[in-house]
Amino acid sequence: MNIRVNGIDLWYEKTGDGPPIVLLHGNGESHRIFSVLTGQLSENFTVYALDSRDHGQSGKSRELTYGLMTEDTARFIEALGLDRPAVCGFSDGGIIGLMLASWYPGLLSRLVVCGASTSPEGTKRGWLRLFRLLYLITRDKKYRLMLTEPHITKEDLKSIDIPVLVLAGEKDMIRAEDTRFIAGSIPGAALRILRKENHMSYVINSPKLYGAMETFLRSSDG
């Protein structure tokens, strides 16, 4: 389905029945990375799997920033009249989730972030070198985005007042220090480092992500 919000056409898939949860994919991906998770969640939740601007089947955009995608998602939630949905975001989607929770108090009920970072320096150096090379070759704004953003501060994280679960792989491309900084700065946040997993191995069409967050989503706090 398509919906126009914030000056852009966003494509989304709606599945299941129950409390709403919005799924946000990573850089260069689409909602299809959550095919397995959507099936698992749809037994208990109404799942909204979204394609970010300039990704998947959503509209193309001259500009691409985390701020724009955060605004897109907030307007999407408001346009559909979703009542305090949960959000699960992977990588770029996790960054958007953190910014949503910080910028729009009261909009969300709870948040799961997987492999999120607070700045480009939160990514391990080898991966940053690769992204720089790819940007030089392609001039793709998606690579530029990862090299120049985000800029999430401790004060931003401290302002988040909903239950948050922070997930990362033991072999993640995100520096462990940044993952711990996120979890340690959000009041009451829970942290899980998944053994033997890398940045995407437990997320991309994997049944493991649901297992990692099922108890958190079902808990009654918040």
CATH number at residue 166: 3.40.50.1820
For residue 31 the two structure tokens come to 């909602």
Distance between CA 56 and CA 10 in Å, rounded? 9
- Whether 221 maps to a domain, the answer reads no
- Whether 21 maps to a domain, the answer reads yes
- Whether 130 maps to a domain, the answer reads yes
| Number of domains comprising the chain | 1
For residue 151 the two structure tokens come to 């800029």
Q: pTM of the full predicted structure? A: 0.96
- Whether 219 maps to a domain, the answer reads no
Over residues 126-162, the pLDDT tens digits come to 999 999 999 999 999 999 999 999 999 999 999 999 9
Q: Is pLDDT of 36 > 70?
A: yes
- Whether 173 maps to a domain, the answer reads yes
- Whether 117 maps to a domain, the answer reads yes
Other beta carbons within 10 angstroms of residue 158's beta carbon come to: 12
Burial class (CB in 10 A: 0-12, 13-18, 19+), 141: middle
- Whether 116 maps to a domain, the answer reads yes
- Whether 176 maps to a domain, the answer reads yes
Q: Is pLDDT of 90 > 60?
A: yes
Parent domain of 20 = 2-213
Confidence of residue 221 (pLDDT cuts 50, 70, 90): low
